[in-house]
Structure 1
């Protein structure tokens, strides 16, 4: 019963909707009763109807291929018997509608194209009409019975096509969701890759590529704002001696510690970078020389606290707030100041 409820709810069909659809097809209770009155005739010729139906259907290669083996054919014969019986059962309620929805769902899943379903529906209607024309007791009722049959089969076909369309729309929606999920995942991966591409793997600071991009952006911003822009250059004194004496693992440890000291000493608006080897720089937007000196002192204090036996050299270059040098001149100025400090250490 859960499956039935789910199908009916999925297609927003309840008793009110069933009645509304009956009205759309101008299918009256009197016509349904008239169909139900023909049940004895249909039951008497049911086996013959099913046999003729599948004789005609299997003449088409594409239908025969869909049917496949004898077991499948027998299951289809039994299902068709039930369908014909339900057409003349006199019960056209939720269970009847659910059965039609399930028929559409099954046909869609096994790959029956709409043209094949419509063709089969027409074939069945003509065969049933032939039986009614030949055996109906009251010939004056025949036009009304045939009209009612046509309306009911159209009613059923609409339900079947609701499942075809609903399944297609569901597939499109699912595909859309998968594409959206894939796009989000791709975007996240792109962000991660982009972040990795601009990060130094040892210290997790920005790398030289990111530094070059950032200093151009911040210099342009400083020019627009007429503000200061400072660059700090940092180098570990006698780093080659550390590497040669204690090994590269120790050297990496020293670089990581310096990277951490820089990160913890900077403002959130600053951009700490490792340029390569033991050379680091920090880009400081809206920072005067006094601010840059203060941050440089903090970096040096943090590093020497961790390694009292080692030292670093720091150089600072400032541009703005009225006249500005180029990005290369700013970097070269900080590098030169750092080299001069190293010579004095």
Structure 2
């Protein structure tokens, strides 16, 4: 039925449809689709012509039909509240008049279908529930049937007219509910996209937070938490593959002296330089970590202790190139491929090797 608010009311964001397309295009309705819908209802051209022939009757009683329609409709509180005021009611009476005239005008093509889709879309946008729309449709059909029964004397003709009217109003209702369903699906799709966008943003934020939680802010290497997770993961993988894992454990010689003599800013600069040397010297599969203070560790999957020693030497050379006046001490330990020690045992072995290297200097 005619909308219960202004047809130019702004649609909700979630039910908005692309304005570059007509309603017929948006709902994929063409000439063949219109014909097919009428065939499904067994609505024939003869019946449409029969309805058109009743136009003089309807025109004579049109004001009466519209008046009775709104008299019955406004008896329901929820409908009266939707209409709201006398000015809106006057506009609705005018729109309802055109709606009824279209039922008997004889043109049931693209313009007719587009108008029915528009009615459904506007009703959905302003919040008219399907039960209220169907109530209005039933009321109108009853009033039209009452007028036609009073005016048409031949019983067989009357039955044919009422049957045709029933089919055409069902045709209308199907179009209206296509818009209800279409806008609901559009809203669901829009909500789904918003949820997916939010979930992606949340996932990215979680990754960033996770990365920050596992990274040392000074050197941007893995911190102790990141090291522990990586070492556990790589040891488990090595046991499954029956491969080796080696560690390089190192610190800056006389780092306390550097801090006390040159200040903490210089100490931080030295630590960043060692972190840079480690990152540049490691393989892409290795995990460079700052354990804490001036202690660093490199986890080397699929590497023998000899490979770890070679990388430790590269790190020391790279660091000395940056700070010739300072040096680092490194210790190496490995495990696998047959027998494996625990994470703590491997770390302790590398730490002991580092202190042994310090004493040897």
CA distance in 1, matches of 2:104, 2:89: 23
Q: Report the 3-state secondary structure (helix = DSSP H, G, I; strand = E; otherwise coil) of the residue aligned with 2:297.
A: strand
Structure 2: gaps spanning 5 or more residues: 1-17
CA distance in 2, matches of 1:236, 1:242: 9
The aligned runs of 1:303-322 (5 Å cut-off) are: 303-322=319-338
CA distance in 1, matches of 2:349, 2:269: 28
Tell me whether 1:143 sits opposite 2:125 in the alignment.
no
> CA offsets per residue over residues 238-268 of structure 1, 9 Å max, x none?
2222223333222222211111110110011
Alignment partner, residue 101 of structure 1 = 117
Does structure 2 retain, via aligned residues, the 8 Å contact 1:4–1:98?
no
Alignment partner, residue 242 of structure 1 = 258
Does structure 2 retain, via aligned residues, the 8 Å contact 1:39–1:89?
yes
The aligned runs of 1:286-305 (5 Å cut-off) are: 286-305=302-321
How far did 1:216 drift? 2.2
Structure 1: gaps spanning 5 or more residues: none
Does structure 2 retain, via aligned residues, the 8 Å contact 1:229–1:318?
yes
Alignment partner, residue 244 of structure 2 = 228
Alignment partner, residue 171 of structure 1 = 187
CA distance in 2, matches of 1:302, 1:212: 26
Two-structure CA RMSD over aligned residues (Å): 1.8
Cα pair distance change 1:313/1:57, threshold 3 Å: same
Does structure 2 retain, via aligned residues, the 8 Å contact 1:38–1:88?
yes
How far did 1:193 drift? 1.7
Alignment partner, residue 7 of structure 2 = none
Of residues 291, 294, 300 in structure 2, which corresponds to 1:278? Answer: 294
Cα pair distance change 1:288/1:12, threshold 3 Å: same
Of residues 39, 42, 55 in structure 2, which corresponds to 1:26? Answer: 42
How far did 1:322 drift? 3.6
Q: Report the 3-state secondary structure (helix = DSSP H, G, I; strand = E; otherwise coil) of the residue aligned with 1:281.
A: strand
> CA offsets per residue over residues 168-224 of structure 1, 9 Å max, x none?
222222222222222222222222222221111111111111211222222233333
> CA offsets per residue over residues 122-179 of structure 1, 9 Å max, x none?
1011111122222236555222111111111111011111111111222222222222
Alignment partner, residue 354 of structure 2 = 338
Number of residue equivalences: 344
Of residues 248, 264, 269 in structure 1, which corresponds to 2:280? Answer: 264
Alignment partner, residue 75 of structure 2 = 59
CA distance in 2, matches of 1:320, 1:111: 70
